Amino acid sequence: MISVPPSYLYIFALMILEGMSLPIPSEIIMPLVGYYSTKGVLDPYLGLMVGTVGSLIGSLIDYYIALKLGRAFILKYGYVFKLTHEKLDALTNWFSKYGAQSVFLFRFVPLFRALISFPAGLAKMRLPLFIVFTFLGHLMWDSVLVYIGIAFAPTWQSIINLIDKYMYGLAIVIAVIVIAYILIKGNFLKF
């Protein structure tokens, strides 16, 4: 029987939750993998793979929620976003056109990284394509975060202060740009 240290199980579980759109920030978990690898507690490559596979599984759960519960579920609970049949049709058409690109690129946008799995499931994006783009996006993002944890291990407290100070502002700016792009390209806004 293979013995897995509890720390890898924690990483795996937290990253599944992060992939499921729950407020568990990979921006904290994965740099800690890098940080603890400098202390000899974790292997950075194993931690990276465990976290990335966890995120993929969480993303697949969201994908299947949208795929199986579908339009009726989204329309029933989509009132929060003022979704109508027409808007949902437009979103589905847009996603059919830009789906694979958006699944990959959204993995780099904090706060929206996990949410892209829902339109992918609604649009019935081909599962192998979804898995490849999701895995590659998560792997690249998580690699950068692990590297940050390794590179800044000596000044970890300073990094935490910088994240607190700038990350959410940067995330909001990126999110606004991405949402504006989606709305314009999806013809939700006419100019």
Domain boundary assignment for the chain:
6-185
For residue 111, is pLDDT > 70?
no
pTM of the shown model = 0.72
In degrees, rounded to 5, the angle at the alpha carbon of residue 16 between the alpha carbons of residues 152 and 4 is 75
| Strongest mean pLDDT among 23-27, 60-64, 76-80 | 60-64
Q: What is the pLDDT of residues 170-188, one digit of tens each?
A: 777 777 777 777 667 666 5
pLDDT reported for residue 4: 52
